[in-house]
Amino acid sequence: MTNSAVFHCPACGTAYPADRPIWRCDCGGHLNLEPRPGLRRADIDATDASLWRYRATLALRGPPRVSLGEGWTPLVARRWEDVAVQFKLESQMPTGSFKDRGTAVMLNHLLEVGVGPIHEDSSGNAGSSIATYAAAAGLRCRIYVPAAAPRGKIVQIAASGAELRTIPGTRQAVTEAALAAVGESFYASHNWHPFFIEGTKTLAYELWEQLGFAVPDNILVPTGYGSNILGLDRGFDELTRRGEISRRPRLFAVQAENCAALAAAWAADAADYVPFSPRPTIADGIATVKPVRTAEVLSALRRSGGGVAAVPEDEIGPALKALGRLGLFVEPTSGTAAAALRQLLRDGTIRPEQTTVVVLTGHGLKATDKIGELLGVS
């Protein structure tokens, strides 16, 4: 660890020492953390059964001040479509979603640089993650969520003692409410802050280690803004530069066809965002209309040799039910990744003999209202 981390703005090229609470560049663009050296196998703290076993590669100044034991989630082998698959249970994080990877690292950075009260907007999972970690750290916190967010996520935010603001209308309206509050408290946005991706990069290290210091052929991730895709790209990039791996897994961003910004850009062979018409989807966690780092997510997917899979709405429920029958109880957003694997196996993009990881990003208990409807449970 070192205190020499640097933020860089891809839009205007400005660099900032990462020693102050900022969430974007003065030009309005998003910031990224400059590449880090990464770690070698020998640098892993194998006594720590959490993501902090990779502490040596994180751009923090010191040991974590707040942790709920996040990371080191199970990688479970199952058969899907009669093919061997590894399911990564990010749903078993402290708050029930993968967001805890990004939140834990981002919040520890914010504590190091002396942030005060924070606020955040979210479809629900990042909000409940940040509210929970803020409570654990003793920080005051306000969370903006869509009024239509799953009740489990809203209740979870309330349980942390955070101030809860439910906003009617679109997900974009929720973001605008949070932007309007900039100045009242620090905008600890998981979609903007580069330290969130510094946290999600530990997913790459974990898969590499859990697979016996080898990388899989394919990784499928339910994707809206792309924090896991960018984290995986960053982590595998570090491992490549360290000489620990010699090839990269193909990354597949999985989207709900009804709201698929990345799929629209991919289909147009575009390097950046292209406008599209969003429709409602049961996959609330990935109903993203305008990802902050669209161009970077697209280029990470291209660099990996992977792509984007868009799942029709009527295939999400059956995939969720089939996962349940395998003992994997996840929220509808995560069901999309299993549905996408079905699609990619059928069209030959993924072959049965390959090693494929499906990332299950959120727990079923987050969305029992919607799952109950799908199952016909009254």
Which residues are near ligand PLP by CB under 6 A?
Answer: 97, 123, 125-126, 222-228, 285-286, 288, 331, 333-334, 361-362
Say whether residue 271 binds Zn ion (CB under 5 A).
no
Number of residues that this document lists for the chain: 378
Q: Based on CB atoms, which residue is closest to ligand PLP, 160 or 334?
A: 334
Q: Based on CB atoms, which residue is closest to Zn ion, 25 or 337?
A: 25
Q: Tokens 């003999």 identify what position?
A: 353
Q: Based on CB atoms, which residue is closest to ligand PLP, 278 or 362?
A: 362
Q: Do 188 and 115 meet the contact criterion of CB atoms below 8 Å apart?
A: yes
Q: How far is the CB of 32 from Zn ion (least distance, A)?
A: 11
Q: How far is the CB of 210 from Zn ion (least distance, A)?
A: 38
Q: What residues have CB less than 8 Å from 154, skipping those under 6 apart?
A: 124, 145, 164, 166
- 310 burial (CB, 10 Å; 0-12 / 13-18 / 19+) is buried
Q: How far is the CB of 11 from Zn ion (least distance, A)?
A: 5
Q: How far is the CB of 234 from ligand PLP (least distance, A)?
A: 13
Q: How far is the CB of 105 from Zn ion (least distance, A)?
A: 23
**How many residues lie near Zn ion (CB under 5 A)?**
7
Angle between helices 99-112 and 202-210 (to 10 degrees): 130
Q: Based on CB atoms, which residue is closest to ligand PLP, 245 or 316?
A: 316
| Structure token digits, residue 292 | 């902050």
Q: How far is 364 from 50, CA to CA, in rounded Å?
A: 22
Selection from Zn ion, ligand PLP, none that 12 binds (CB < 5 to 8 A by kind) is: Zn ion
Q: How far is 15 from 237, CA to CA, in rounded Å?
A: 21
Say whether residue 9 binds Zn ion (CB under 5 A).
yes
Q: Do 349 and 220 meet the contact criterion of CB atoms below 8 Å apart?
A: no
Selection from Zn ion, ligand PLP, none that 179 binds (CB < 5 to 8 A by kind) is: none
Q: How far is the CB of 361 from ligand PLP (least distance, A)?
A: 3
Residues pairing with 15 in the sheet:
8
Q: Based on CB atoms, which residue is closest to Zn ion, 33 or 130?
A: 33
Single-letter amino acid, residue 322? A
Q: Do 216 and 204 meet the contact criterion of CB atoms below 8 Å apart?
A: no
Q: How far is the CB of 288 from ligand PLP (least distance, A)?
A: 6
| Structure token digits, residue 37 | 């050296």
Q: Do 32 and 194 meet the contact criterion of CB atoms below 8 Å apart?
A: yes
Say whether residue 15 binds Zn ion (CB under 5 A).
no
Q: Based on CB atoms, which residue is closest to ligand PLP, 65 or 321?
A: 321
Q: Based on CB atoms, which residue is closest to ligand PLP, 199 or 245?
A: 199
Residues pairing with 201 in the sheet:
none
| Structure token digits, residue 270 | 């575009």
Q: How far is the CB of 222 from ligand PLP (least distance, A)?
A: 4
Termini Cα distance of the chain:
52
Q: Which among 14-22, 116-124, 127-135, 260-268 is the span making contact with Zn ion, rule CB under 5 A?
A: 14-22
Q: Based on CB atoms, which residue is closest to ligand PLP, 39 or 203?
A: 203
- Going by C-alpha positions, the residue among 127, 264, 272, 269 that lies closest to residue 188 is 127
Q: Which among 7-15, 118-126, 144-152, 160-168 is the span making contact with Zn ion, rule CB under 5 A?
A: 7-15
Among 5, 18, 25, 360, binds Zn ion (CB under 5 A): 25
- Going by C-alpha positions, the residue among 72, 28, 65, 35 that lies closest to residue 50 is 72
DSSP 275-310: -------S-GGG--SS-TTHHHHHHHHHHHT-EEEE
Single-letter amino acid, residue 174? V
Selection from ligand PLP, Zn ion, none that 27 binds (CB < 5 to 8 A by kind) is: Zn ion
Say whether residue 162 binds Zn ion (CB under 5 A).
no
Single-letter amino acid, residue 267? A
Q: How far is the CB of 184 from ligand PLP (least distance, A)?
A: 24
Selection from Zn ion, ligand PLP, none that 123 binds (CB < 5 to 8 A by kind) is: ligand PLP
Q: Which of residues 26-85 bind Zn ion (CB under 5 A)?
A: 27, 29
- Can you give the binding site for Zn ion, defined by CB under 5 A? 9, 11-12, 14, 25, 27, 29
